[in-house]
Structure 1
Amino acid sequence: MATTDKPLKVLVVGGGIGGLMAATVLRHQGHDITIFERTQLAQETSAAVHIAPNAYGLLKRFGLVPEDIGANPVKGVTEWDVHGNIKADIDTSRGAGLWQHPWVLTHRVGLHTALQDLATGAKGPNKPAILKTGCRVMQVDAEAGTITFEDGTTASGDLIIGADGVSSVTRKVVAGEHIKPRGSGKSAFRFLVPHDKIRAVPEAEPFTRREGIMNLWIGGNRRLIMYPCNRNTMMNFVAIHPSEESSAKGEDWSRGGSKDALLATYKDFPPAVQALLSLVDGESVKAWTLFDMERIKNWYNGKAVLLGDAAHPFLPHQGQGAGVAMEDAVALSALLPLGVTPEDIPERLALYQKLRDERAHRIQEISRMMGEDMDEEARKNFDMFKFTAYNYGHDEWHNSTAALRKLLATRNGPVHMRLPVSFGPMISPRQNPYLSNPSDPSSSPPPPKVTTTTVRFKTSATYLRGLLPNNTDFSFAAPGSVAQASFITIELDNLAWLGGTGYNVFGLYVHGVKYQKPGVPGPPTVGTFLPVLFESAADPITTGREELGMPKVFADVVVTRDGSSVRTVCSWRGHKFVDVSASGLQPFDPSAVPPPAAAPLAVNGHPAGGPPGAGGPPNGASSSAGPNEKLLVYRYVPAVGTPGEADAEYPVVIENGMAVGPRDIKTALRSGEASVAFDKGAWKSLPTLHHIAERLAELPIYGIIEAKVEEGTGVAAFDKVSRLG
């Protein structure tokens, strides 16, 4: 197996349907599994099992098509009273289109054998599970992950799965010694009769004229169910009755029963039923006590976890016992993909309990209700189809894998949900890109490469006020008609969240902006305001808009270098509307050398002019924006269906938002020379950006403060973001 992930060592206590299903799925996941079964797995011949749509899909997913082992589709259900009258005749094939998979009935031995082969056979993915029979578990140490057998030997693993049925030993250390199964007051005879033998009886003709029919007789406090299995060659019988009328004394499927007791129990049923029961081979009759149990509070403890009847013994009135056990097995296994560590197990078991507790116990409660001895009126008001829809309309593999995905997305901080939300969290600069496997060794990739080109200049404060969201909450921190702004180009590469690729960014940053809500006490928030940010990739645009409220729009942002010059051109479908160049760049130490004095700047090829005093900082305002300076943006979410109105609009502050350069600077260049050219274009050439390009072309530039280029690694996390006002 070509992987560096270490498999878990899993011990499965119990080799029944639930235990074998868990071993099958865990084998697919790549783990090392050993199954310990107390019996010798002797072939029992007198029981069949329901495989409803919710279980059928799980079996098929892992390589077992029930029809291949002789399963019969259920085509209808006919209910009879004790006088032989039909009370209901339901064509189940009419609802087949509702469910992805069919409802079938199969012999328990065939299902068990097929699951055993899937788990332990030579065919199949990864290492086969090991099955050890005749291993009676006497004690389970949940904390140590150790089980002790009757002969005193032990086995240890990373996880112990208690699939050991109603009389579970594992349950004692998980749910407590006080949680024990109890008799429900009912027992069941069970046996098989060859279908040909039934067809030979004239009285049975109403029950054999149609194939695939489940026949049900209900009389007072007893009922009889008959349905086909083994490719319609055998009829399975379950005869439920008060326990005191039979010799059932335990939960074991294979306890002997009495044909005389069977006939006596159903002596008041119609002659046709008597004829059916007379066909029974007395040696094959088994008696089975129907056990129930209170709801457990804990499904796991330490390294031990329960599934199937060990967690929730089912009464058979919906035929969901085996199906829900398979759901448990699939849920638990789905939460343990290869790569999960022993340290992860408690978290996964907690999620398993959360996923399974409500559903399993709800079906358990419905089964109790369906087994009650109802009068005629109560039966009319009982909506069986509502419960059937709940049972059948579920796929536990899909349910559990979706839940695991959500869990993994939260392991590295809060989940960032963005449209479309139907598929869960989407990776972004602030979301772990390895959602499916956070333990992937590549989840610590090399730091991204960053090159930042900044052209800082002086301009009209009055003009810039027109770009602020409003003039009541926003203003400049310093008085005067001159303010500072910057054009900043950011080249990003080797971004893990974009699969190692990158993109380019160009924005206008207005420095020295103050935000304070009138009448709200406290100091103002002062920082750099970002009115627009052009980006060359769609994914960062959506993440920045939705997670940060940034005013991002698309443009092709192309950066070229020629000796000591760096040029940034922004265009849309070939139409250039911004062209910014920094020239005469020379190396410098950004930590030791102060920025140069302002110098003239060329705008659209002509020398720039400005008001008196344009050569110095505006009225004492800071001449540089440090990396710890706050970034202010304004979030606006338009109202759906109401043009011109907003669902939400408010200012946002990003702490350390001006840390746009590399965290680890490798090289730094600086000059006092730059040129800027704008082309406002027209609505036809820039249909979505003309309103922005036109305003930028009007931007007066009074003088350069600094042009610099910083190259290195590491980007700002932008993780400290909050709403203002």
Structure 2
Amino acid sequence: MESRSPLKVVIIGAGIGGLMAACALRETGQDVDVYEQSQMANEKGAAIALQPNSTTLLRRYGFEPEKFGATTMENVSPKASPAQEMDADRVWFCSKMMMMDGASLDVMQEITDKVKEATLSEQRAQKCYFIHRVDLHSTLKKRATELGAVLHAGCEIKSVDEDANTITLADGTTVKADVIIGADGVHSRTRKVVFGESYQEHPSALSCFRFLIPTKSLREDPETRVFVEKPGSMMDLVGPDRRIILYPCSQGEYLNVLPIVPRQLAEAAGPKKENLLSAFSIFASPVQRMLEKTDEQSITMWPLFDMSALPIWAKNSVALLGDAAHPFTPFLAQGAASAMEDAVSLAVMLPLGTKTGQVPGRLQLYERCRKARVDRIQELSRVRGRDASGERGKPPTGNEIFSFAMYCKQHDEYVHSSKFLEAFDVPFIPAPPSPMSNP
């Protein structure tokens, strides 16, 4: 009987993409070690939106968003078709986001993702969720270790040698692997191994503040109640060259607030809260009142990074995933989703039984499978982020935004990668079902 020995996989970076890769590769039977520079003892972050293309993958590997604190985006209207009675097991699926003028709070557009009759199981598969990043990260970390992945915290990577297939830690320890995956984020050290200094991330014209506000304090104030009176709703408050994106998380306990401004405003000298209030002084009084409720200590400020599309993602037995390969602007909520898609695609391309000598070719297949989709989403996200100032080009119409969202959401990377692998006459060996998965 042919031996199906596991590959030794080293993952650099224990973010969402790295941990998802650890889970997916352990499910296939590969040996996985994850090296993370931080101590992973005090994870931070605000909320993220989980679109159907990411929740489909999470469920495939046994994760149910509702079980780790996700808030459902309200998107079901219980109304029957005019031509029929309402069936008990059917709903009308309708996902919306409100775009509102920041200065007046007048509704500019209600962008509807999709309207169709769907069974409850179909509707469930298309739900969007809002989740605290820490909750998702903790769930993935716990599951990765349960599956047998070994997490090494506090390990700074000094170098990666793609010829010898080794990584060297800051303490001088050298680790040899069959596969090295760079999931080390936008400032990736692994990327430099593949490209040197040729392709580097750069700050875009925009920066963002991030923080959470307890929904209770907003609900109790008549002036700010408008932002939380529709549980599960997402709002985009738009100004001429700035905006605020709002949505709930932690089962509705907090409102995630993402103000996006020209970079020079965010980086101005002075306290962050003072800069924040100044940047949105042109917005309506309820918006300013909401921002005043922010705790200065909870505000973080991040430049929004961008990068030209890389010509390749893999070299020999080293591959990149997530922000290391393709930083995204946040306007289509696809950063974490694409990192998870990368992770699952890698696991599909590297089933148990893959020979060490086959690894470079399989990593090239991974790149070919993923790159066109990711390059397109990068560009669509840039277009989605254009504002009324026109400085970065004409902003998209509601119909265009709808088409962008559908391209992102209506995708199952596990299925896509499996078919891609089979197209190259490579027998696909599915991973064993997860013990956490539903039958």
TM-score (norm 1): 0.53
Task: Give the conservation status (yes or no) of the 8 Å contact 1:248–1:289.
Answer: no
Aligned twin of 1:264? 278
Q: SS in structure 2 opposite 1:383?
A: helix
Tell me the equivalent position of 2:100: 80
Count matched residues. 400
Give the CA deviation at 1:93. Answer: 7.8
For 1:407, which of 421, 424, 435 is the aligned residue?
A: 424
Give ranges in structure 1 of 5+ residues lacking alignment: 250-255, 410-434, 438-725
Label 1:3 to 1:53 Cα distance change in 2 as closer, same or farther (>3 A). farther
| Distance in 1 (alpha carbons) for counterparts of 2:232 and 2:221 | 18
Match of 1:319 in 2: 333
Name 1:468's counterpart in structure 2.
none
Corresponding position of 1:578: none
> Which whole-Å CA distance do the structure 1 matches of 2:307 and 2:260 have between them?
18
Read off the aligned partner of 1:294 and give its amino acid letter.
S
CA shift for structure 1 position 172: 0.8
Distance change >3 Å, CA 109–CA 269, structure 1 → 2: same
Is contact 1:189–1:257 with CA below 8 Å preserved after alignment? no
Q: Of residues 131, 134, 138 in structure 1, which corresponds to 2:158?
A: 138
CA distance in 2, matches of 1:392, 1:34: 31
Q: CA RMSD in A?
A: 2.1
Aligned to 1:623: none
Q: Describe how 1:444-593 pairs up with structure 2 within 5 A.
A: none
User: Counterpart of 2:372?
Assistant: 358
| Residues 387 and 395 in structure 2, CA contact (< 8 A), matched pair in contact too | no
- Greater RCO (CA < 8 Å, at least 6 residues apart): 2
- Given that 1:180 and 1:293 are in contact with CA atoms closer than 8 Å, whether structure 2 keeps it comes out as yes
2:415 to 398, 403, 413: 398
Amino acid at match of 2:51: A
Query: 2:26 — aligned with what?
Result: 27
Aligned twin of 2:312: 298
In the other structure, the counterpart of 2:251 is 231
Partner Cα distance (2:397, 2:380) in 1: 16
Q: Is the 8 A contact 2:241 2:389 kept in 1?
A: no
8 Å contact 1:335–1:404 — kept in the other structure? yes
CA contact (8 A) 1:257 1:285 kept: no
Partners of 1:240 and 1:164 lie apart in 2 by: 24
Once residues 328 and 218 of structure 1 are traced to their aligned partners in structure 2, the CA distance between those partners, rounded to angstroms, is: 32
Match of 2:145 in 1: 120
Shift, 1:248, TM fit: 8.6
Residue pair 1:190, 1:287 contacting (<8 A) in 2 also? yes
Question: In 1, are the aligned partners of 2:113 and 2:402 still within 8 Å (CA)?
Answer: no
Q: CA deviation at 1:160?
A: 0.3
CA gap of 1:349–1:248, structure 2 versus 1, over 3 A, is: farther
Report the equivalent of 1:197: 217
Instruction: Judging by fraction of residues, say which structure has more helix.
Output: 2
- Residues 48 and 106, structure 1, Cα contact 8 Å, conserved in 2: yes
> In structure 2, what is the equivalent of residue 583 of structure 1?
none
2:323 to 301, 304, 309: 309
3-state SS of 1:174 partner: helix
Name the one with the larger strand percent: 1
Give the unaligned 5+ runs of structure 2: 75-95, 430-439
Residues 184, 103 of structure 1: alpha-carbon distance in 2 compared, 3 angstrom cutoff = same
Query: Aligned partners of 1:68, 1:248: CA distance in 2, in Å?
Result: 41
C-alpha distance in 2 between matches for 1:114 and 1:184: 31
Q: 2:134 & 2:397 partners in 1: Cα distance?
A: 36
Q: Residues 51 and 409 of structure 2 are in contact (CA less than 8 Å); yes or no, is this contact kept in structure 1?
A: yes
Task: Answer whether contact 1:331 1:352 (CA < 8 A) is retained.
Answer: yes
CA distance, structure 2, for counterparts of residue 90 and residue 370 of structure 1: 13
* Larger gyration radius, structure 1 or structure 2: 1
**For residues 99 and 47 of structure 2, what CA distance do their matches in structure 1 show?**
19
Question: Percent identity among equivalent residues?
Answer: 40
Q: CA offset at residue 206 of structure 1?
A: 2.1
Residue 383 (str. 1) matches residue 400 (str. 2): yes
Amino acid at match of 1:118: R
Counterpart residue type for residue 208 of structure 1:
V
Equivalent residues of 1:189, 1:239 under 8 A apart: yes
1:213 matched to which residue of 2? 233
- Residue 5 of structure 1 pairs with residue 30 of structure 2: no
